[in-house]
Amino acid sequence: MGVLDDKVAIVTGSARGIGRATAELLSEHGAKVLINDLDADLAAQTASEIQGETTVFAGDLTKGDAPDRLVQAAIDAWGKIDIIVNNAGYTLDAPLHKISDDWWERMLDIHVTVPFKVIRAAAPHLREPAKQEREQGVEVFRKIVNVSSTSGTMGNAGQSNYSAGKNAVVGLTKTLAKEWGQFKINVNAVAFGWIETRLTAPKVDTNTMEIDGEKVQLGIPEQIMGMANMFIPMGRPGTPQEAAGGVFFLCSPWSNYVHGQTLNITGGQLSGMMS
């Protein structure tokens, strides 16, 4: 018996990194998981490698009605939704005065607009069952976890576009928590610090991703990587599995009275030990 048996979860950006680790952990504890990624082949491979029940929706969630089709894919597979983890994202880094309109808008699209559209599309499948349960006098908790970052909660030089998007998703989280608490839908966020993913790997020619045929550079300068033990009290970056642990908690029954919060998963870095 798993604590998430019979639960249905959507995890965006879940073919690799934190998203994959989250999907694996949810599945390990009984959830049925929809895997999403830009790369259809990688999404299918990930789904096949996860032991539990999965389905796949591949595609760019910033395009057209993709968020609606993502939600429908979960409904078509399992008929309901219990958990949404809005994890998909990437970075386009530059000093503010060098950021183009396109780079600004793309960061807001993926980090704020996509979570908004996914949640809006899922609303009938979350709210309507909850209304019936309320009439019956029973409590069934559903979960939304939005992924933010310390770049959003504290700011970060060279990431004004990314930071703005990650801060905005915290506002979205807190507002939705006020609106949907009555439906026993827990809405929380996680703010990751330095986690070992493509976004924090060395900034080298091979660390890129492709979006709309354009190569996007990922990573951070190698000289910064050696400073981890100076500003992370735990002395090292976190692993995707450690990051997924915090997300799992907010998807689990143990978080039923945790609502409208942003959980810092940072090893104590920066805001990790501030009120």
| pLDDT tens string 5-45 | 999 999 999 999 999 999 999 999 999 999 999 999 999 99
| pLDDT tens string 46-70 | 999 999 999 999 999 999 999 999 9
Would you list the domain boundaries of the chain?
Answer: 8-198+239-273
Q: Which residues are catalytic?
A: 162
Put simply, whether the predicted model's pTM sits higher than 0.85 gets the answer yes
Joined tokens for residue 151: 């770049």
- Annotation: CATH topology of 8-198+239-273: Rossmann fold (3.40.50)
